[in-house]
Structure 1
Amino acid sequence: MDDDLLTIGAFAARARLSAKALRLYDRLGLLAPAHVDEATGYRYYRADQVDRARLVALLRQLDMPLARIAEVLGAEGTEAAGRLAAYWADVETRVAGQRTLAEYLRGRLSGRSSEMYGKFVIETVDVPAQVVITERRHTLADELPTWIGASLGRLEAAARECGGMTGAPFVVYHAEVSMESDGPAESCVPVADEAAARAWAAERGRPWETTVRVEPAARLACTRITKAQVAHPQILAAFEAVEQWMAGEGLRMAGPSREVYFADWDAAGPHDPVCDVAFPVR
């Protein structure tokens, strides 16, 4: 055995980590010992492994899951930095969403619902009739964001073969979507060529859930929200604000609620407007 190797205790002291943490990192493949004694099972490390050990510990201080740490360690240079940046962007989006939710819940618990709803700017807009290619699914709230992204991606790709998109994609809620109720929800993309859309749906769509229909012209009562506010359940505040405004204006609901996604989701930051929460009214 190399005389320059350090025992796990000596290495732990130099790396400012516990032996327990080092055993965990070894088990997860984040930091393997340089040598393991076959007879005793003792772990030994090289001095040049200290930087990697400290890096793992620092990443853990960011509450980074061990699987994400492995991704960062498996990359080099700018790629590793990019993976860290992507993780931290996810954290900031989550925290921004939680901040919005906490504000919403404080308003509810303190009886300040009217004040809370007053923060949303609500207006009516008229939208023309549109040919839409759609995908419908029963889904719970925790599965909803993934499905929305995937289904709109599929439908936007289809739209390129159907004369292009003629408006912002939107998601219609035909029934409540929550952790207990599964909708269904329907992703919709307006397209230019109805005949091409119907041919696409018949040939390559999913017959049990992909359809083409004409969405009638409508007047929508809507409010614009940020990317952070889109997350469930804080988005419920926007829906409730529009419903309260409609009641105050004497407007009746004329169809299921929807979310209209008008911005580039991936490029948007937590505080960038990305979505209109809307209800058809009459």
Structure 2
Amino acid sequence: MGAQVSIGDFSVMTSLSRKALRHYHDIGILEPAHIDSHTGYRYYDNSQVDHAHIIRRFRSLGMSIPDIKALLSTDDAAARTEIITTHLEQMEAQLQQTRDAVGALRELLAPVPTAASVEMRHEPALAVWSISATIDIAEIDSWFGAALATLRDAVTTTSGADSAIVPGGFYDRELFLESRGSATLFVPAPQSAPAPGGVRAEVLPAADYAVLTHSGDHQGIDRSYAAVGKYANEHLISHQGPIREHYLGSTPAEPTAFTATEICWPIFRTTPPPD
């Protein structure tokens, strides 16, 4: 044990405020060495300075109180390393999220790009295997991954290979308007094969679309949606049907790593579609 010092001196020595020291005392991660029974003054031991510095440093790095408690309560070097490594991984993920957010904010400083690359396309009727659900918008990523895995397994079991699969999706406008609506994921149906359990066989009707290809992952896809929607409303007759997407460039090893997404905005065509 070292010399005992007042809470004021300990605050200066550790750069922890009186309020912070009282809080850490209350939650049990930095208790005073002695509390005067008459005055209630808190006194700390000099040997607690390093302990206090650890708490302050990790709190400044965003580590949670439970993790700090776990870190300080164990003498197991491996356990401490695991706690610190996990926190570093969380910080790296948060840093990437911040970088993505900065990139998105920079994009907002520029106007919505002109949609010169929009093409008119007539999609013929198509036999597909599909999975549909009514979902909340917050569930779309997890639902998409599970549905895609089911469809790929179905195709692989039937045809023995899924390298040529180009998945597509339909998204009801209620999903955008009310944050809850119908979503459908589909793949072209293998020829002369019945749909397995949990998968529906159907024929998509022929339809006309304004199509814009969004390159890369879905970062910034809202801007591409704005561009094709603006074009469809300014130059064409927008249809209120569901939005269709096609997912390009994935591989069996990375089935959700798409290189591009075709956004298909439904339209009314005033001239006959091409043969």
Q: The TM-score by the shorter chain falls in which range? A: 0.5 to 0.7
State whether structure 2 residue 264 is matched by structure 1 residue 278: yes
Alignment size in residue pairs: 239
Q: Is the 8 A contact 1:174 1:183 kept in 2?
A: no
Aligned-pair identity in percent equals 18
- Mind listing any 5+ residue stretches in structure 2 that lack a counterpart? 72-79, 157-161, 270-275
Which residue matches 1:103? 109
State whether structure 2 residue 7 is matched by structure 1 residue 21: no
Q: 1:150 aligns with which of 142, 149, 173?
A: 142
Distance 1:55 1:243, change over 3 A: same
Distance 2:170 2:15 in 1: 51
The code of the aligned residue for 2:103 comes to A
State whether structure 2 residue 130 is matched by structure 1 residue 123: no
TM superposition score normalised by structure 1: 0.62
Q: Deviations over 1:33-59 (max 9, x none)?
A: 055657548474712224423423432
Distance 1:245 1:170, change over 3 A: same
Bigger proportion of residues as strand: 2
Secondary structure, counterpart of 2:61 in structure 1: helix
Q: Deviations over 1:239-268 (max 9, x none)?
A: 342133224543553832244454779998
| TM-superposed deviation, 1:155 | 0.7
Distance 1:138 1:57, change over 3 A: closer
Distance 1:43 1:83, change over 3 A: farther
Which residue matches 1:244? 230
The code of the aligned residue for 1:148 comes to I
Which residue matches 2:29? 32
Which residue matches 1:204? none
Which residue matches 1:52? 54
Distance 1:14 1:214 in 2: 74
- Give the superposed CA RMSD: 4.3
Higher Rg: 2
Distance 1:170 1:99 in 2: 29
Q: Is the 8 A contact 2:131 2:147 kept in 1?
A: yes
Which residue matches 1:227? 218
Distance 2:174 2:84 in 1: 48
Secondary structure, counterpart of 2:166 in structure 1: coil
Secondary structure, counterpart of 2:132 in structure 1: strand
- Mind listing any 5+ residue stretches in structure 1 that lack a counterpart? 108-115, 202-210
Distance 1:70 1:222 in 2: 52
Which residue matches 2:134? 137
TM superposition score normalised by structure 2: 0.64
The code of the aligned residue for 1:84 comes to M
Distance 1:160 1:137, change over 3 A: same
